[in-house]
Amino acid sequence: MDLFTEIEDTERDEIRTLRKELEEANYKYYVLNQPTLSDREFDVKMRRLQDLEKAYPDMADASSPTQHVGSDLGGNNKFASITHRYPMLSLANSYSQDEIQEWLHKLPANVEIVCELKYDGLSISLWYENGLLTHAVTRGDGVRGDDVLNNIRTIATIPTHLDAAIFGGNVPSFLELRGEVLLPWANFERLNQEREAQEEPLFANPRNAASGTLKLQDPNEVARRGLACYLYYMLGENLPGKTHYERLQSAQQWGFPISDAIRVCHSIDEVMDYIHYWDTERKNLPVATDGIVLKVNDLSTQQSLGYTAKTPRWAIAYKFPAEKQHTRLRAITYQVGRTGVVTPVANLDPVQLSGTTVQRATLHNEDFIRQLGIVEGDEVWVEKGGEIIPKITGICPLPAGDLPAVFIGTSSEPHRNLIGTSQLHCNGAEHAYSFPTTCPECGARLVRMEDEAAWRCPNELGCPPQIKGKMEHFVSRKAMNIDGLGTETIDLLYAQGLLHSIADIYDLKKEDIAKQERLGDKSADNILAGIEASKQVPWARVLFALGIRMVGETTAKKIARRFTSVETLQWATKEELTAIEDVGDQIAENIIQYFLDIRNLEIVNRLRSAGLQMEADEQAQPVSNKLAGQSIVISGTFAQHSRDEYKAMIEINGGKNVGSVSKKTSFILAGENMGPEKLKKAETLGIQLMSEEEFLTLLND
């Protein structure tokens, strides 16, 4: 293969990898509210993907994350889903002031620019029908969102009805206001303090806290947390004014919460002054901001500039670089995670960063420390991105107060000094560092797989954080779903010596639980009821709950279908296992190793004696053969059931749910907004589309 073909292959692979990574990051950010990438890391990856897609136009794909906004629609949705009247888009963004100036230069001459703060919360669309606030819809996937009206009603500054007098008795029949819902810093900190006291997981930042709050089912709790809102966009018919600014002014007069920080600018210099002023001044605001939004003021110019698939061309966001500080690295300690990964932690001289005192930060892994050549006593740069755990981003060999000579990922140009995209600087101490050889929790000898950056403690069954991690996984919703047994309770019962392994859960006595601080009779009853109910959980989920490495939910289902009991699985050979779809050598090896360990066999035996479903239930066999032999693709969004439910319906009626359309596809169960690629393929191959109503009728007949 010549060099160019090789580069091309690598870049095409990179497109696929980036798409996967960004989808995953979107899901974790919008649905789980647990960001795994900082905003900056996300934006850099997105940029790279955009550039690569431009270079390989044949790989264009309408479902690429470059083509749609992230979705906050989760699996089991408890809110009514509403289709937006106008799609809810995102904004193009840049960390580079040069790029912002370039964007301004390309606009028609003499356009006015409205500068606004970019509030860091989540977007909301408020619908006023005949003067009444009737819906408050989250962005969702940009096309459909969740109606969280009852929660929005707790925000006192949002009018629940329009004052007819202001409109001379003629309130508009429809008006839509869009804006950002926020949790002010003070309320965020109070909430996290409460959660810390109750040993509940902390919110990483006010955005995640606002998002988690807006999705609560209990408006009283929402009210207690104290959300806030700023509105920045008005839509509807026959609206007053010819400019964006005039509209926001009207909205303010009508009683809507509009920020005072909005300015109309007439030159690039004015825009840059606004950016510089707020870069510092924003630190004194009661709410989080992550940039500045620039919008073309004149509405007809906006219209002629138009939109891309994802963003308006008439607006752009300048994102502030993440805040960083330098401080002294006192010591490196090591933390063992719930999966056995050992993470080096920097213990720092306390330093103020984004409003909080930072004393600990992650150093990621051995390679990171080696590449930086970092040693205890160094002056280091610490940065807080979107995550709660700050990171060390570089060493600072100059005396305190000077500019950094070495840093990673904090440059105002995203392509410079990023891990993986440029060489790292070294302070000459590279050779001096060695990662510990034994686990700081249990003393086992650490191992490092060839293709992994992390060192792991292999003592799965004897290392405290791993034992607790296994229990957490076992009781989790998709596994045994034992209500009431959360992380804190597991920690507590483990510390009391009542839980050593997942099998001990079934030996818990009411009095053991009830006598624990913060638990009592009611919690004990609740936990025991959850444990009892878990005995009905089907074999496939029990298999998933066992926590065999790399055996995820879907793989467990496939294995459980082939091996319908734990006895048969226990004796399965590598060949038999790898014959199952999705089971490769490594997974097969992990399963075999699991059942070779006598301690696991003992756990499995105890679970069986406790009454868990260790074999497939005959009754779970197909309820009909109506779909026998049919390969069915599910695409789009549905009103009556979730995708998972439709998948299950297909399976229990003898059909097979497949991911992509081919000539073997029997029909497509098509919801709203079906993917354009699938639609095109279905048309080309002449495959029938079936609506959800038709599908349900078919099954019910």
By C-beta, is 317 or 482 nearer to ligand IVH? 317
129-168 residues in contact with ligand IVH (CB under 6 A) are none
**Residue 277: CA count within 13 A, CB half-sphere:** 12
By C-beta, is 290 or 460 nearer to ligand IVH? 290
Question: Is 563 one of the binding residues for ligand IVH (CB under 6 A)?
Answer: no
Three-state DSSP state, 19: helix
Question: Is 208 one of the binding residues for ligand IVH (CB under 6 A)?
Answer: no
How is residue 228 written in tokens? 């806030």
Question: Is 245 one of the binding residues for ligand IVH (CB under 6 A)?
Answer: no
**Which residues lie closer than 8 Å to 10 by C-beta, 6 or more apart?**
none
Three-state DSSP state, 573: coil
Question: Is 30 one of the binding residues for ligand IVH (CB under 6 A)?
Answer: no
Question: Is 248 one of the binding residues for ligand IVH (CB under 6 A)?
Answer: no
CA triplet 205, 208, 213: central angle to 5 degrees? 125
137/410 Cα distance (integer angstroms) = 35
Question: Is 297 one of the binding residues for ligand IVH (CB under 6 A)?
Answer: no
Say which amino acid occupies 160: T
272/46 Cα distance (integer angstroms) = 25
Strands 667-670 and 688-690: parallel
By C-beta, is 296 or 687 nearer to ligand IVH? 296
Report the 10 Å Cβ neighbour count for 130.
Answer: 13
374/660 Cα distance (integer angstroms) = 48
Q: Which of 5, 166, 162, 147 lies closest to 77 in space, CA to CA? A: 147
- Give the range of 199-207, 276-284, 310-318, 510-518 binding ligand IVH by CB under 6 A: 310-318
Smallest gap from Cβ 290 to ligand IVH, in A, equals: 8
Whether 118 is catalytic is: yes
| Residue 136 contacts residue 287 (beta carbons within 8 Å) | no
Smallest gap from Cβ 118 to ligand IVH, in A, equals: 4
Per-residue binding letters, 101-130, with ligand IVH (x by CB under 6 A)? ---------------x-xx---x-------
By C-beta, is 233 or 455 nearer to ligand IVH? 233
Smallest gap from Cβ 234 to ligand IVH, in A, equals: 11
Smallest gap from Cβ 54 to ligand IVH, in A, equals: 21
By C-beta, is 41 or 116 nearer to ligand IVH? 116
Smallest gap from Cβ 262 to ligand IVH, in A, equals: 8
Question: Is 180 one of the binding residues for ligand IVH (CB under 6 A)?
Answer: yes
CA triplet 183, 188, 191: central angle to 5 degrees? 125
Selecting among 20, 45, 54, 118, the annotated active-site residue is: 118
By C-beta, is 211 or 417 nearer to ligand IVH? 211
By C-beta, is 119 or 695 nearer to ligand IVH? 119
Three-state DSSP state, 320: coil
Question: Is 46 one of the binding residues for ligand IVH (CB under 6 A)?
Answer: no
By C-beta, is 64 or 94 nearer to ligand IVH? 94
- Give the range of 89-97, 324-332, 360-368, 650-658 binding ligand IVH by CB under 6 A: 89-97
**Which residues lie closer than 8 Å to 538 by C-beta, 6 or more apart?**
560, 613, 616, 617, 620
Question: Is 227 one of the binding residues for ligand IVH (CB under 6 A)?
Answer: no
| Residue 234 contacts residue 75 (beta carbons within 8 Å) | no
- Alpha-carbon distance values, 460 to 345, 456, 467 (Å): 22, 10, 7
By C-beta, is 262 or 687 nearer to ligand IVH? 262
Task: State which residue has the least CB distance to ligand IVH.
Answer: 123
Q: DSSP readout, 141-192? A: TSSEEEB-HHHHTT-TTS-SB--GGGGTT---SEEEEEEEEE--HHHHHHHH
Question: Is 183 one of the binding residues for ligand IVH (CB under 6 A)?
Answer: no
Question: Is 354 one of the binding residues for ligand IVH (CB under 6 A)?
Answer: no
Smallest gap from Cβ 314 to ligand IVH, in A, equals: 8
- Give the range of 46-54, 87-95, 151-159, 509-517 binding ligand IVH by CB under 6 A: 87-95
Helix (H) or strand (E) holding 361: strand 356-362
* Burial (CB count <10 Å: 0-12, 13-18, 19+), residue 14: middle
Question: Is 312 one of the binding residues for ligand IVH (CB under 6 A)?
Answer: yes
Smallest gap from Cβ 492 to ligand IVH, in A, equals: 39
Give how many residues touch ligand IVH by CB under 6 A: 14
| Residue 380 contacts residue 326 (beta carbons within 8 Å) | yes
* Among 67, 90, 362, 487, contact with ligand IVH (rule: CB under 6 A): 90
Question: Is 89 one of the binding residues for ligand IVH (CB under 6 A)?
Answer: yes
Q: Which of 683, 531, 525 lies closest to 612 in space, CA to CA? A: 531
By C-beta, is 317 or 513 nearer to ligand IVH? 317
3-state secondary structure 446-515: CECCCCCCCEECCCCCCCHHHHHHHHHHHHCCCCCCCCCCCHHHHHHHHHCCCCCCHHHHHHCCHHHHHC
Question: Is 71 one of the binding residues for ligand IVH (CB under 6 A)?
Answer: no
Question: Is 235 one of the binding residues for ligand IVH (CB under 6 A)?
Answer: no
Residues identified as active-site: 118
Provide the binding-site residues for ligand IVH, judged by CB under 6 A: 89-91, 116, 118-119, 123, 180, 232-233, 293, 312, 315, 317
